[in-house]
Amino acid sequence: MAPIRVLVVDDSVVIRKLVSDLLAEDPDIEVVGTAVNGKAGLQKIALLKPDLVTMDVEMPELNGIETVRSLRQSGNRVPIIMFSTLTERGAEATLDALSAGASDYVPKPANVGSVGRSMEQVREALIPRIKSLVPRPGMLSLPGVARPAQPAPVVLRTPAPRPPGGYRLLVIGCSTGGPEALSALLAGLPPLPVPVMVVQHMPPLFTTQFAARLDRQLDVEVTEAAHGQVLRPGTVCIAPGDFHLEVVSDARGLVTRLTQAPPENYCRPAVDVLFRTAVAAVGGSVLGVVLTGMGADGAKGSRNIVDRGGAVLAQDQATSVVWGMPGAVTNAGLAERVLPLGELPAEITRRLVHPHVGGPVGTPANRAVVGGAR
């Protein structure tokens, strides 16, 4: 099996060496070159044709955002992982890079003076992303999670009858590729009669900037969740970085709860936590949506939803940056429908706003077979 060929683009000689050295230790990865800025990076990409590029956001001559934009405008779809500082400015720049077409990002090591710890931080964040974005049969993308050599066809779950009184909550989980997917999904929805709760795997500051950006871009109100926030129909509530987002029911209605309980699926916030507590709060009156992302976060929570009579939709592989999370839900037989990103808004609208358009949700006629993953 050929190794994944990676180009490292960064103006810092320390970061270039750190990243190159740790990647060279992995037998599945080969560093084919380095570049000192975006301009040199474009030349190396054309020459070396790497499978993946790691790229600094802030560089002289041509920064990371401009480099990503140039590549995408030329039609080059090579996966790009951005390196970003954990600052407000770094978060905003990283979101700009993702909007321009970057695939994912990792935090830059905060203390390059401690080389051993810095390498470990980058290794834990970077290598799973590389292996998820450039899949190889059987290769481990996350600890203990190997890719199947040939994913089998899956059968969609027979749609459950609509919950009495309809759905009361829409919950969404996403990770790699999620910022752009979530933005497109929300932009395609009309005003909804239920609250929307989101877990997007992101660190602190990034979720603050992400929620503020969506609030500016969309007609709907988008907030970063605060502890004890009363949920209102039509509003979108995004889990803050490093906190699990839960929902509870009390005399005020549906209310958020933030905790720093241990990570689940290596994540905090975790999709499973949101989905599980949503079911505890409103029973089966939950519609879950699992978008692009690596790993399997959301699969256990999706089972909680369907076991109580709720429904789960999943993004298809063709439109996902990484078909890990939605693939895990689909392959477990938990998804009622697996749809391209562009078709999910209409399906959500049909279930939440126009429940009788297109036939009842609970008809067995919606049962279908989906071919194996490409």
The active-site residue out of 56, 96, 201, 272 is: 201
Residue in the block written with tokens 């949506």: 289
Residue 338, helix vs strand vs coil: strand
Q: Considering only CA atoms, which of 90, 80, 135 is closest in space to residue 110?
A: 90
Q: Would residue 244 show up in a list of annotated catalytic residues for this protein?
A: no
Q: Pick the catalytic residue: 11, 297, 302, 316?
A: 297
C-alpha 263/C-alpha 80 separation (Å) is 27
Token digits of residue 47: 């020459």
Angle at 18 between CA 14 and CA 21, to 5 degrees: 135
Residue 107: how many other CB atoms lie within 10 Å:
17
* Catalytic annotation present for 175: yes
* Cβ-proximal residues to 273 (8 Å cutoff; 6+ apart), any chain: 199, 244, 245, 246, 261, 264, 301
Find tokens 């990034």 and name the residue: 206
User: In sequence order, which ranges of the chain are alpha helices (DSSP H)?
Assistant: 13-24, 38-48, 64-73, 88-100, 115-133, 178-187, 206-217, 271-282, 299-307, 325-331, 344-352
151 touches 331 (CB < 8 A): yes
Q: 175, 285, 302, 320: which one is catalytic?
A: 175
**In whole angstroms, what is the distance from residue 25 CA to residue 6 CA?**
13
Quick check: is 297 catalytic? yes
State the catalytic residues: 175, 201, 297
